A = this chain, B = another copy of it.
Amino acid sequence: MADGSQAVVRALELVIQVGAHPDGVRLSDLAAEAGLPAPTIHRLLRALVETGFTQQDPVTKLYALGPRISALANQMAGGERLKVVSRPILERLASQTNETVFLAALDSDEVVITDCIVADATLRLGGRPGVRLPIHASSQGKAILAFLRPADAGRILARLTLRKLTRNTIDRMEDLAVELGRVRELGFAVNDQEREPGVRSVAAPILDASGSAFGAVCVGAPASRWRMDRMIERLAPLAKAAAGDISALAARYGGSET
Protein backbone atom coordinates (compact mmCIF):
# COMPACT_ATOMS: atom_id res chain seq x y z
CA MET A 1 0.00 0.00 0.00
CA ALA A 2 1.36 3.35 -1.09
CA ASP A 3 0.15 4.82 2.15
CA GLY A 4 2.34 2.77 4.44
CA SER A 5 -0.46 1.89 6.81
CA GLN A 6 -2.10 -1.30 5.60
CA ALA A 7 -1.50 -3.20 8.80
CA VAL A 8 -2.69 -0.29 10.89
CA VAL A 9 -5.87 0.22 8.92
CA ARG A 10 -6.56 -3.48 9.07
CA ALA A 11 -6.23 -3.49 12.85
CA LEU A 12 -8.42 -0.43 13.27
CA GLU A 13 -11.07 -1.85 11.00
CA LEU A 14 -10.93 -5.02 13.03
CA VAL A 15 -11.76 -3.02 16.17
CA ILE A 16 -14.74 -1.56 14.35
CA GLN A 17 -15.77 -5.05 13.28
CA VAL A 18 -15.54 -6.40 16.81
CA GLY A 19 -17.62 -3.43 17.95
CA ALA A 20 -20.44 -4.51 15.67
CA HIS A 21 -20.73 -7.71 17.72
CA PRO A 22 -21.86 -6.67 21.22
CA ASP A 23 -22.27 -10.29 22.27
CA GLY A 24 -18.75 -11.26 21.30
CA VAL A 25 -17.36 -12.87 18.17
CA ARG A 26 -15.05 -15.74 17.21
CA LEU A 27 -11.71 -15.33 15.51
CA SER A 28 -12.86 -17.44 12.58
CA ASP A 29 -15.97 -15.33 12.02
CA LEU A 30 -13.89 -12.18 12.05
CA ALA A 31 -11.55 -13.75 9.52
CA ALA A 32 -14.44 -14.76 7.27
CA GLU A 33 -16.07 -11.32 7.48
CA ALA A 34 -12.83 -9.50 6.79
CA GLY A 35 -11.79 -11.86 4.03
CA LEU A 36 -8.38 -12.31 5.62
CA PRO A 37 -6.61 -15.48 6.78
CA ALA A 38 -6.93 -16.54 10.41
CA PRO A 39 -3.22 -16.08 11.24
CA THR A 40 -3.41 -12.47 10.12
CA ILE A 41 -6.49 -11.84 12.24
CA HIS A 42 -4.90 -13.69 15.13
CA ARG A 43 -1.83 -11.51 15.04
CA LEU A 44 -3.86 -8.31 14.81
CA LEU A 45 -6.06 -9.43 17.68
CA ARG A 46 -3.01 -10.11 19.79
CA ALA A 47 -1.93 -6.50 19.43
CA LEU A 48 -5.48 -5.29 20.09
CA VAL A 49 -5.81 -7.38 23.25
CA GLU A 50 -2.35 -6.36 24.45
CA THR A 51 -3.29 -2.69 24.26
CA GLY A 52 -6.78 -3.17 25.67
CA PHE A 53 -8.75 -2.22 22.57
CA THR A 54 -10.32 -5.66 22.51
CA GLN A 55 -10.51 -8.41 25.06
CA GLN A 56 -11.16 -12.11 25.01
CA ASP A 57 -13.58 -13.74 27.39
CA PRO A 58 -11.57 -16.53 29.09
CA VAL A 59 -14.58 -18.83 29.19
CA THR A 60 -16.33 -18.36 25.87
CA LYS A 61 -13.13 -17.36 24.05
CA LEU A 62 -15.16 -14.72 22.22
CA TYR A 63 -13.60 -11.38 21.43
CA ALA A 64 -15.28 -8.11 22.39
CA LEU A 65 -14.30 -4.47 22.74
CA GLY A 66 -11.86 -3.95 25.59
CA PRO A 67 -11.51 -1.57 28.52
CA ARG A 68 -9.32 0.81 26.59
CA ILE A 69 -12.31 2.00 24.58
CA SER A 70 -14.27 3.08 27.62
CA ALA A 71 -11.18 4.63 29.15
CA LEU A 72 -10.63 6.65 25.98
CA ALA A 73 -14.30 7.63 25.80
CA ASN A 74 -13.99 9.06 29.29
CA GLN A 75 -11.02 11.12 28.21
CA MET A 76 -12.81 12.81 25.39
CA ALA A 77 -13.51 16.50 25.64
CA GLY A 78 -16.05 18.97 24.33
CA GLY A 79 -18.74 17.92 21.91
CA GLU A 80 -17.63 14.32 21.65
CA ARG A 81 -17.72 13.89 25.41
CA LEU A 82 -21.19 15.39 25.46
CA LYS A 83 -22.23 12.72 22.98
CA VAL A 84 -20.88 9.94 25.17
CA VAL A 85 -22.60 11.30 28.27
CA SER A 86 -25.85 11.97 26.45
CA ARG A 87 -26.16 8.72 24.59
CA PRO A 88 -27.74 6.60 27.34
CA ILE A 89 -30.16 9.39 28.14
CA LEU A 90 -31.10 9.71 24.47
CA GLU A 91 -31.56 5.97 24.28
CA ARG A 92 -33.93 6.10 27.22
CA LEU A 93 -35.86 8.96 25.64
CA ALA A 94 -36.11 7.07 22.35
CA SER A 95 -37.45 4.09 24.24
CA GLN A 96 -39.96 6.19 26.18
CA THR A 97 -41.28 7.97 23.11
CA ASN A 98 -40.82 5.47 20.27
CA GLU A 99 -39.93 8.47 18.13
CA THR A 100 -36.72 9.84 16.67
CA VAL A 101 -34.63 11.76 19.15
CA PHE A 102 -31.86 14.23 18.45
CA LEU A 103 -29.00 15.86 20.26
CA ALA A 104 -28.18 19.24 18.76
CA ALA A 105 -25.72 22.07 19.18
CA LEU A 106 -25.39 25.55 17.82
CA ASP A 107 -22.74 26.16 15.19
CA SER A 108 -22.52 29.77 14.05
CA ASP A 109 -26.05 30.68 13.02
CA GLU A 110 -27.30 27.18 12.49
CA VAL A 111 -28.20 24.15 14.48
CA VAL A 112 -26.22 20.99 13.80
CA ILE A 113 -27.42 17.52 14.75
CA THR A 114 -24.68 15.87 16.80
CA ASP A 115 -26.38 12.59 17.63
CA CYS A 116 -29.56 10.92 16.58
CA ILE A 117 -31.52 7.76 17.33
CA VAL A 118 -33.97 7.04 14.56
CA ALA A 119 -37.31 5.48 15.49
CA ASP A 120 -38.26 2.01 14.35
CA ALA A 121 -41.64 2.98 13.03
CA THR A 122 -42.44 2.76 9.35
CA LEU A 123 -43.20 6.46 9.25
CA ARG A 124 -40.52 8.22 11.24
CA LEU A 125 -38.17 11.13 11.11
CA GLY A 126 -34.81 10.35 9.70
CA GLY A 127 -31.64 12.22 10.45
CA ARG A 128 -27.99 11.78 11.10
CA PRO A 129 -25.13 13.65 12.74
CA GLY A 130 -23.92 16.56 10.69
CA VAL A 131 -27.28 17.66 9.34
CA ARG A 132 -27.79 21.41 9.69
CA LEU A 133 -31.06 23.14 10.43
CA PRO A 134 -32.15 26.78 10.39
CA ILE A 135 -32.19 28.15 13.88
CA HIS A 136 -35.49 30.01 13.60
CA ALA A 137 -37.46 27.12 12.11
CA SER A 138 -36.32 24.27 14.33
CA SER A 139 -37.35 23.48 17.88
CA GLN A 140 -33.70 22.85 18.75
CA GLY A 141 -32.67 26.23 17.44
CA LYS A 142 -35.37 28.07 19.31
CA ALA A 143 -34.68 26.17 22.52
CA ILE A 144 -31.02 27.11 22.38
CA LEU A 145 -31.60 30.69 21.27
CA ALA A 146 -34.07 31.34 24.09
CA PHE A 147 -31.51 30.34 26.69
CA LEU A 148 -28.38 31.94 25.31
CA ARG A 149 -26.80 34.81 27.12
CA PRO A 150 -28.60 37.92 25.85
CA ALA A 151 -25.45 39.30 24.20
CA ASP A 152 -24.88 36.05 22.31
CA ALA A 153 -28.52 35.76 21.32
CA GLY A 154 -28.54 39.39 20.22
CA ARG A 155 -25.54 38.86 17.97
CA ILE A 156 -27.16 35.90 16.26
CA LEU A 157 -30.53 37.59 15.90
CA ALA A 158 -28.89 40.62 14.36
CA ARG A 159 -27.50 38.46 11.56
CA LEU A 160 -30.48 36.17 11.11
CA THR A 161 -32.55 36.05 7.95
CA LEU A 162 -35.96 34.56 8.71
CA ARG A 163 -36.44 32.52 5.59
CA LYS A 164 -40.02 31.34 5.15
CA LEU A 165 -39.93 27.58 4.59
CA THR A 166 -43.58 26.69 5.12
CA ARG A 167 -46.74 28.66 5.71
CA ASN A 168 -46.07 28.17 9.46
CA THR A 169 -42.52 29.49 9.54
CA ILE A 170 -41.92 32.44 11.82
CA ASP A 171 -40.67 35.07 9.39
CA ARG A 172 -40.91 38.31 11.38
CA MET A 173 -38.48 39.26 14.07
CA GLU A 174 -41.22 40.51 16.41
CA ASP A 175 -42.96 37.14 16.23
CA LEU A 176 -39.72 35.31 16.91
CA ALA A 177 -39.05 37.48 19.97
CA VAL A 178 -42.49 36.63 21.35
CA GLU A 179 -41.90 32.94 20.63
CA LEU A 180 -38.56 32.97 22.43
CA GLY A 181 -40.20 34.58 25.43
CA ARG A 182 -42.70 31.76 25.48
CA VAL A 183 -39.92 29.18 25.20
CA ARG A 184 -38.21 30.70 28.22
CA GLU A 185 -41.43 30.50 30.23
CA LEU A 186 -42.22 26.93 29.26
CA GLY A 187 -38.68 25.61 29.28
CA PHE A 188 -39.09 23.99 25.89
CA ALA A 189 -39.64 24.93 22.25
CA VAL A 190 -41.90 23.53 19.58
CA ASN A 191 -41.77 23.24 15.84
CA ASP A 192 -45.24 23.03 14.38
CA GLN A 193 -44.51 22.24 10.72
CA GLU A 194 -42.37 25.37 10.53
CA ARG A 195 -39.46 23.90 8.61
CA GLU A 196 -41.14 21.08 6.76
CA PRO A 197 -44.79 20.21 6.29
CA GLY A 198 -45.77 17.06 8.16
CA VAL A 199 -43.04 17.35 10.77
CA ARG A 200 -43.49 18.42 14.37
CA SER A 201 -41.02 18.41 17.22
CA VAL A 202 -40.36 19.59 20.74
CA ALA A 203 -36.96 20.45 22.13
CA ALA A 204 -35.51 21.43 25.50
CA PRO A 205 -32.21 23.24 26.10
CA ILE A 206 -29.13 21.72 27.69
CA LEU A 207 -27.75 24.31 30.07
CA ASP A 208 -24.27 24.89 31.42
CA ALA A 209 -23.50 25.82 34.99
CA SER A 210 -24.36 29.44 34.35
CA GLY A 211 -27.80 28.55 32.92
CA SER A 212 -26.78 29.30 29.37
CA ALA A 213 -27.74 26.87 26.62
CA PHE A 214 -25.08 24.95 24.73
CA GLY A 215 -27.22 22.24 23.18
CA ALA A 216 -30.70 20.80 22.98
CA VAL A 217 -32.58 17.52 23.14
CA CYS A 218 -35.35 17.08 20.64
CA VAL A 219 -38.10 14.57 19.92
CA GLY A 220 -39.41 14.74 16.39
CA ALA A 221 -42.30 12.89 14.80
CA PRO A 222 -44.76 12.89 11.93
CA ALA A 223 -47.54 15.44 12.31
CA SER A 224 -49.94 12.67 11.29
CA ARG A 225 -49.16 10.82 14.51
CA TRP A 226 -49.00 13.75 16.92
CA ARG A 227 -51.26 16.77 17.24
CA MET A 228 -49.25 19.68 18.57
CA ASP A 229 -51.16 19.83 21.84
CA ARG A 230 -50.65 16.16 22.52
CA MET A 231 -46.99 16.41 21.71
CA ILE A 232 -46.67 19.26 24.18
CA GLU A 233 -48.51 17.30 26.81
CA ARG A 234 -46.78 13.96 26.33
CA LEU A 235 -43.38 14.46 24.75
CA ALA A 236 -42.27 17.85 25.98
CA PRO A 237 -41.95 16.77 29.65
CA LEU A 238 -39.82 13.80 28.59
CA ALA A 239 -37.57 15.98 26.46
CA LYS A 240 -37.26 18.43 29.33
CA ALA A 241 -36.36 15.68 31.76
CA ALA A 242 -33.74 14.30 29.38
CA ALA A 243 -32.26 17.73 28.81
CA GLY A 244 -32.24 18.27 32.56
CA ASP A 245 -30.42 15.00 33.16
CA ILE A 246 -27.84 15.80 30.53
CA SER A 247 -27.43 19.28 31.95
CA ALA A 248 -26.84 17.86 35.42
CA LEU A 249 -24.13 15.53 34.18
CA ALA A 250 -22.61 17.54 31.43
CA ALA A 251 -22.57 21.09 32.66
CA ARG A 252 -18.83 20.92 32.84
CA TYR A 253 -18.47 19.80 29.24
CA GLY A 254 -20.49 22.52 27.70
CA GLY A 255 -19.68 26.04 26.71
CA SER A 256 -20.91 28.14 23.92
CA GLU A 257 -18.86 27.94 20.80
CA THR A 258 -20.62 30.46 18.67
Contacts and interface: CB of A to CB of B under 8 A. Distances in A.
A11 B50 CA distance: 13
A215 to B, nearest CB: 15
B77 A73 contact: no
Given A51-B13, A69-B69, A88-B250, A77 B22 contact: yes
Interface in A126-148: 129
Residue of A5, A64, A249 ringed by the most chain B CB atoms within 10 A: A5
Contact of A70 (B5, B71, B80): B80
Interface of A: 3-5, 7-13, 15-16, 19-20, 22-23, 43-44, 46-48, 50-51, 53, 64-77, 80-81, 83-85, 87-89, 91-92, 129, 245, 248-250
Given A3-B43, A7-B8, A8-B7, A70 B88 contact: no
Nearest to A10: B8
Nearest to A9: B47
A235 to B, nearest CB: 18
B65 A74 contact: no
Residue of A15, A16, A44, A71 ringed by the most chain B CB atoms within 10 A: A71
A46 B83 contact: no
A91 B248 CA distance: 11
A72 B15 contact: yes
B75 A20 contact: yes
A22 B65 contact: no
Contacts of A10: 8
A5 B47 contact: yes
Residue of A11, A64, A69 ringed by the most chain B CB atoms within 10 A: A69
27 contacts: A3-B43, A3-B47, A5-B7, A5-B44, A8-B8, A8-B11, A8-B44, A9-B50, A9-B51, A11-B11, A12-B47, A12-B53, A16-B72, A19-B72, A23-B77, A64-B80, A67-B80, A69-B69, A69-B80, A70-B81, A70-B83, A70-B84, A70-B87, A73-B73, A74-B87, A84-B84, A88-B250
